[in-house]
Amino acid sequence: MKKIQIAIDGPAGSGKSTVAKEIANRLNILYLDTGAMYRAVTYIVLSRGQSAQDSEVLKNVVDQIEMELTPNHVFVNGKDISDAIRTPNVSQNVSFVAMDAYVREKMVELQKKIAGDQSVVMDGRDIATHVLPDADFKFFLVASSEERAKRRQSELSQKGYDIPLETLIDEIDKRDKLDSEREVSPLRQADDAIRVDTTKMTIEEVIGFILERIDSEFL
């Protein structure tokens, strides 16, 4: 198979991670969850009792930590923090970390290094616009905020968190706003990305839609 790089961007809860992971699985190529990297930095800052809005704190943390990613796990300084980065507290603070220019520079550097010269499916907010501008395929997934909040609610309830839908809609709207209006690499559809509205689609339908568009020369 020829080298293939696929960028999947979109707001929280649009189905990116589930779809990207499954596409990587089916194509037998690397999956990289870039949101997990910003979450990992956020978790470390919060676990030290520090502020996610202090750029000095963020710089220190990013310079001190050694981050390692596998398709399903995130390790910081050798410790598996894959579950710890998915808590509501991390979700509520991660946008502040993701808007910091120094954090972004370092994370993008690492993302490019991991992707290197191999086939990859990467999901995030700025993959098509910034991290892999030459990706072979670019998809931008969207869904209504109500549908995205429902998806988050069911994910969280499986983990034992019972959070009202209204609270989650509010959180998602706030996060979208912060992610789209920040100065550095805001969430934005790349001009050459294919937009997929997943509101009324099943995961399997989204995966099918994407795979159909991937040229047969790559498969």
Minimal distance, residue 157 CB to ligand DC, in Å: 17
d(CA 18, CA 144): 17
116: left (phi over 0), alpha (psi -120 to 50) or beta: left
- Which one of residues 38, 43, 137, 139 is an interface residue with ligand DC (CB under 6 A)? 38
- Which one of residues 22, 100, 126, 171 is an interface residue with ligand DC (CB under 6 A)? 126
Closest CA to 115 of 32, 24, 37: 32
With respect to ligand DC, which residue has the nearer C-beta, 155 or 215?
155
If DSSP codes are grouped into helix, strand and coil, which group holds residue 125?
Answer: coil
With respect to ligand DC, which residue has the nearer C-beta, 12 or 45?
12
One character per residue 54-83, x = contact with ligand DC (rule: CB under 6 A):
------------------------------
Q: Starting at the earlier edge strand, list the strands of the sheet with 120-124.
A: 30-33, 120-124, 5-9, 137-142, 194-197
88 near ligand DC, rule: CB under 6 A:
no
100 near ligand DC, rule: CB under 6 A:
no
One character per residue 171-190, x = contact with ligand DC (rule: CB under 6 A):
----x---x-----------
The answer to whether the beta carbons of residues 47 and 58 sit under 8 Å apart is: no
Minimal distance, residue 2 CB to ligand DC, in Å: 25
Minimal distance, residue 1 CB to ligand DC, in Å: 25
d(CA 17, CA 116): 20
Q: Which residues pair with 141 in a beta bridge?
A: 196
With respect to ligand DC, which residue has the nearer C-beta, 27 or 94?
94
With respect to ligand DC, which residue has the nearer C-beta, 4 or 13?
13
Q: What is the dihedral of CA 178, 35, 109, 100, to 10 degrees?
A: 30
**Which chain residues interact with ligand DC by CB under 6 A?**
12, 34-35, 38-39, 94-95, 98, 124-127, 175, 179
